[in-house]
């Protein structure tokens, strides 16, 4: 039974939603709404129709499809039983030692009651499992998965390929980011090393020029700094490079000579003009034949140059 008191001083129907609900139920009347309206709710318990509907919606399936069981509670585990027994003995000793004092009753503790309920549910589930496995074995239904069992995947291969592509794309982007970060770090380190090397070279050059200036002004006679500068960089790598350059220079010298002065090398000098060993005064020029426009010897050479082998023997 529900009572509504509707008047101006009532604060229960201040909101629009409550007023609309009361108006929909027909509780609001014309006027000042001062009278009390009483609504009596009727409850109908149609047992016959409920049973018929239950019979209609009840599933008539074999037990294998439902696996419903009604069992009793399984026996308690030995360790739990021992623990409960020890707790009971401890409680009994506490009551004997504290006579006349209101002692603590664990049965009234909701925490212990909750543990008791969970323990009963666990034991009942154990009993249901034991009985259910026995019934399944009687029906010849296997209860263990075979070793070569392959379950069907919940997701399709196309979906897993999309997931795989997404993961590979993320890995590639992460690897690219790491590579760019490493390159930037290497670039910073190389730039720092280059700056340090230039500063060191400029400092060494400045120091050498200062020492050279002191030598020019006559303030110092020590020229060892020149040897030190020449000897720098004679490590293992530089030594191999110098050996390679030396071999290359030797091969070129062997093939092309040692260089030297080129301009004016074929001009006569005092020594070459005074040397008359190769001069032959009996040699005659060939007359020019205007008809054939060729030089033609008028007579055979009387004094011919000896052969190479004879000249070689003559030198000995």
Tell whether 301 is covered by a domain.
Answer: no
In a domain, 11, yes or no: yes
Same domain, residue pair 39 and 67: no
Q: Tokens at residue 41, please?
A: 């709710």
| Domain total in the chain | 3
User: Mean pLDDT across the stretch 292-315?
Assistant: 70
Instruction: Please give the average per-residue pLDDT across 215-244, as a whole number.
Output: 69
Give the pLDDT confidence score for residue 129 in this predicted structure.
Answer: 92
Q: Are 67 and 135 within one domain?
A: yes
Token digits of residue 295 = 């030089």
For residue 314 the two structure tokens come to 């003559």
Tokens describing residue 228 = 């030190």
Do 109 and 170 lie in one domain? The reply is no
Domain boundary among 200, 231, 262: 231
Name every residue whose Cβ is closer than 8 Å to that of residue 242 and which is 6 or more positions away in sequence. Answer: 234
For residue 72, tell me if it sits in a domain: yes
Runs of H (alpha helix) within 25-156: 47-57, 63-66, 78-97, 110-139
67 shares its domain with 97: yes
Nearest to 67, CA basis, from 121, 134, 120: 134
Write out pLDDT tens, residues 5-35.
444 444 444 567 777 777 777 776 665 555 5
Tell me, yes or no, whether 177 lies in a domain.
yes
pTM of the model: 0.30
More confident of the two residues 39 and 173: 173
Q: How many C-beta neighbours within 10 Å does residue 13 have?
A: 20
Instruction: Report how far residue 187's alpha carbon sits from residue 195's, in angstroms, rounded to the nearest whole number.
Output: 12
What is the extent of the structural domain holding 37?
2-43
Question: Do 172 and 225 share a domain, yes or no?
Answer: yes
Residues 130 and 177 in one domain: no
DSSP state of 169: H
Burial of 37 (0-12, 13-18, 19+ CB in 10 A): middle
Whether 116 is in a domain gets the answer: yes
- Residues near 203 by beta carbon (within 8 Å), at least 6 away in sequence: none
Within a domain: residue 182?
A: yes
**Residues shown for the chain:** 316
Residue 276 lies in a domain: no
Asked whether residue 58 is assigned to any structural domain, the reply reads no
| Final residue belonging to a domain, choices 139, 172, 187 | 139
Q: Which of 231, 263, 283 is the last residue of a domain?
A: 231
Give the rounded percent of residues in the chain with a pLDDT score beyond 70: 70
Looking at the fold, whether 163 and 217 belong to one and the same domain comes out as: yes
Q: What pLDDT digit, counting tens, does each position of 78-121 carry?
A: 877 787 778 777 777 766 666 655 555 666 665 667 777 888 88
Other Cβ atoms closer than 10 A to 6: 19
In this structure, are 73 and 104 located in the same domain?
yes
Tokens of 213: 């200036």
The 10s digit of each residue's pLDDT in 60-90 is: 888 888 888 888 888 877 877 787 778 777 7
How high is the pLDDT of residue 241? Answer: 75
């Amino acid at each position: 039974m529900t009572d509504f008191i509707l008047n101006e001083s009532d604060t229960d129907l201040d909101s629009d939603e409550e007023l609309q609900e009361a108006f929909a139920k027909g509780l609001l009347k014309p006027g000042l709404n001062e009278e009390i309206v009483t609504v009596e709710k009727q409850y109908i318990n149609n047992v016959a129709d409920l049973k018929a509907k239950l019979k209609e919606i009840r599933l008539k399936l074999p037990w294998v499809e439902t696996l419903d069981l009604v069992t009793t509670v399984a026996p308690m585990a030995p360790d739990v039983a021992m623990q409960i027994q020890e707790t009971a003995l401890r409680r009994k000793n506490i009551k004997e030692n504290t006579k006349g004092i209101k002692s603590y009753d664990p049965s009234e503790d909701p925490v212990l009651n909750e543990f008791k309920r969970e323990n009963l549910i666990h034991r009942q589930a154990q009993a249901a499992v034991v009985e259910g496995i026995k019934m399944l074995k009687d029906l010849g239904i296997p209860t263990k998965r075979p070793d070569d069992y392959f379950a069907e995947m919940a997701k399709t291969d196309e979906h897993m390929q999309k997931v795989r592509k997404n993961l590979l794309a993320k890995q590639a982007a992460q690897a690219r980011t790491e590579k760019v970060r490493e390159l930037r770090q290497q670039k910073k380190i190389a730039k720092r090393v280059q700056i340090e090397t230039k500063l060191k070279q400029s400092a060494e050059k400045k120091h050498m020029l200062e020492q050279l200036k002191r030598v020019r002004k006559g303030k110092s006679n020590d020229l060892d700094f020149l040897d030190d500068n020449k000897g720098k960089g004679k490590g293992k790598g530089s030594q191999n490079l110098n050996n390679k350059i030396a071999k290359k220079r030797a091969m070129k010298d062997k093939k092309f000579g040692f260089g030297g002065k080129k301009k004016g090398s074929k001009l006569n000098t005092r020594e070459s003009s005074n040397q008359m060993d190769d001069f032959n005064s009996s040699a005659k020029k060939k007359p020019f034949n205007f008809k054939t426009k060729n030089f033609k010897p008028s007579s055979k050479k009387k004094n011919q140059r000896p052969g190479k082998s004879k000249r070689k023997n003559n030198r000995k």
